[in-house]
A and B are shown apart, each in its own frame.
Chain A
Amino acid sequence: MAKQLKVKRLHASDYITLALFFILLFITIFPLLWMFLTSMKSSAEINLPKPTFFPKQFYGENYHKIFTDKYFLGYFKNSVIVAVSVTIIAVAGSMLMGYVFAKFKFPFKSLFFYMILLTIMIPSESTIVPLYTLARNLKLLNTYRGMMLPSIISSFGIFYMKQNMEQIPDSLIEAARIDGAGNLYIFLKIIVPLSTSAMSVLSLLLFLTEWSAYLWPLIMASKKEMFLLEIGLTYLQDEYIIDYGMMMAGCVVALVPALILYIFFRNNIMEGVASSGIKG
């Protein structure tokens, strides 16, 4: 009751923050909308001196070219297999490691943690040659396993899970221990249910990272059949001119599966937190 009253009594500062919110919202959406509309324009229209917002004439050629590309379904399948596998494996590993780092004390803990953190600080461009040699020696070129290789563990994920699990009160774990619960049981029965929200976020972010992976899959795949969607769509280009419409159409197509996944996870993100009801 008190809350509702407060909402109605808006202060000047509330107006300012509200205005800022909508400005940011506009900045976020406008380019996306522009992208979507551009994907339905021809190159000639895109290059007009006076930009058009809505396509003067619907131009379906871009989408037609994508969907009739004989490799399109293959790219799509490859991307799904690689991204889904990587996400599941990396999230599982991150949760276990996050749990260990957040709730256990053991020798060299912070050393281990900083070593893990260190690995995300180096740009992937610089470690690609040794990694390639490794994948080659493991006979993983041109395989899904090879494409997944660098992403099946996530330093980012471990860090994220550790930070989130630190918020779970120790008292819950202590109570379970007194009841005779083992560490794995505590992980599955207490930690995981209380982390569904973070888990959903992490799954989503890792999936997106893998979905848009570029350099490594490019190095690993030497056959068109093994290309991922992101690379395949980029290559449907004119040699002399950046075909913006085509590029945007490709982007919209690649966006759809990710968007569906996001909507699926979004409910999870909200519910997860609401039902866990962490109380101190």
Chain B
Amino acid sequence: MKKFFLVLLVAMTAFFAFANGGNEAATTAPKAERSNSPVTLTLWNSSQTMVDFYEAIFPEFQKLYPEVEKLDILYMPIADFVKKLAVVLPAGDVPDIMEIEDSWATQYVTAGYFDPNTDELNAIVDQMQPAFKGCLTYNGQMWGVPSAPFNEIMFYNLDMMAEAGIDHLPETYEELIEDAIKMTKKNADGSIDVSGFSMRLGGNPSGTTQKFWVLGLLANGVDIYEESKTQPGKYHCGFDNEGGFNALKLYIDMLYKYQVDDSASLKDTAAFSAGKTAINMREPSSSVSIQKNGPDINWTTGPMPKGPAAHQTFLITLNLYIPRDGQNKFYAREFVKFATSRENFEKQVRERGGMSPYVDCGLTGGVEVDPRMVGAYTIPEGMTLKSVPVQNAYDQVQIRIGEMLPEIFADKSLAGNDEAIWAKLHEMAKVVNDAYKEYDEYAE
């Protein structure tokens, strides 16, 4: 045993000292122009369906640039991507291209880790929905090109609607709530078996906030922030008012008054695919998952119903950014151009429930979509698309709100107690304002 151990030890130490397994990539001078030697493009992202998409379009790209041998995509689920980026990006160990969600990318943009768009890339963005400019512009320049925009839509279980005698999709919040109540099924013990409307009550904080933003705040005509009237470029909480109150009350009422969902039920796409919720609010690309996990569900989609005070949905997007310290910038830009072309967005619409950001051909990019998805690509008359702002504090604001909301939602004593709801609202407003203060972005 001892001898065996010693021999192994020596062998391993030798290995450890001389092993060449996986050396660091040879650092060469950044290639700003087209090169004669073979190139490997690297891309990091956190969307599995986009990985499939990029791999599918890469052979076409290679036809344009045969010297690009390989597209190396590193996919990480968002939680891992957050960690990796926070450590790696400041150190400059970056790929050629990164795909990041807008609100989360802002702080990296403002810290200077990405290249501003070239005129060519700006020309692409100029042809897209104007809402994007809001989430890409900082200091008068644009950063990043939208590669996977999504809005928030409704998924409806048609069988359940028929069973409840509902003959049309809800167009207003009143109808939405009415329908949700009709379709809710309870267990003998009073807990929810099939929720009428699947509510996002917790989990990843940013996600919780985004849902509250679109379902609650936007529909009630308010936003998370409000720009200061006296000092442009500074902000404060935008929902410490009647609209915010109605938003929070809506959640509390749906849970405790109308009881269309509870904390214990199955949630979200998993619930929808399993026939455990009648209405789910999610982005269009989750349809791929529904088809895979719930092939028997008879469903359709529709746009967000008209809220009590406004008719809005959000427009969030993953963008392709070119890191400042990236190596193959020429090819990175060419690939971004290629991937965000009209044709490739049409491909996304066909294959992953994506949507086209180009303004002149509708969200479908002119593609004939699955009839069930038509609603998802419809922007009804008078409905506006709201994008996220470019603020250093915004990501933090989202996280902080998302950390507070679950406890507020779980608080039964808020039901029918307007004063208590106001108190919670003030509490949240203080946290939001503190976050702005921390980034020097606060003003009354």
Contact = CB atoms under 8 A, between A and B. Distances in A.
Direct contact of A and B (CB under 8 A): yes
A238 B293 contact: yes
B95 A241 contact: no
A88 interface: yes
Interface in B1-31: 1-2, 5, 8-9, 12-13, 15-16, 19, 21-25
Given A222-B88, A225-B22, A240-B289, A235 B9 contact: no
Interface stretch (B77-85, B212-220, B319-327, B356-364): B77-85
A163 interface: no
B12 A142 contact: no
Contacts of A215: 83
Contacts of A148: 16
A196 B1 contact: yes
A218 B48 contact: no
Interface residues of A, number: 47
B72 interface: yes
A241 B91 CA distance: 33
Contact of B72 (A44, A49, A78, A223): A223
A110 interface: no
Nearest to B187: A49
B16 A219 contact: no
A237 interface: yes
Interface stretch (B156-164, B268-276, B377-385, B433-441): B268-276
B185 to A, nearest CB: 11
B48 A239 contact: yes
B22 A239 contact: no
A254 to B, nearest CB: 17
Contacts, number: 109
Interface in A40-54: 43-44, 47, 49
B48 A237 contact: yes
A237 B79 CA distance: 13
Contacts of B273: 43, 47, 241
Interface residues of B, number: 47
Given A88-B9, A218-B76, A145 B19 contact: yes
B12 A84 contact: yes
Nearest to B21: A144
Q: Interface SS of chain A: helix, strand, loop or mixed? A: helix
A197 to B, nearest CB: 11
B318 to A, nearest CB: 12
B74 A242 contact: no
A187 B22 CA distance: 36
B2 A238 contact: no
A43 B273 CA distance: 10
Nearest to B271: A47
Contacts of A234: 77
Contacts of B292: 238
Contacts of B248: none
Given A47-B266, A231-B80, 5 more contacts: A47-B273, A47-B276, A85-B16, A92-B9, A148-B16
Interface of A: 43-44, 47, 49, 78, 81, 84-85, 88-89, 92, 128-129, 132-133, 136, 139-145, 148, 152, 188, 192-193, 196, 215, 218-219, 222-226, 231, 234-235, 237-242, 268
18 contacts: A44-B293, A44-B294, A85-B16, A89-B9, A136-B93, A142-B22, A143-B22, A143-B23, A152-B16, A192-B2, A218-B76, A219-B88, A223-B74, A238-B293, A239-B47, A240-B282, A241-B273, A241-B293
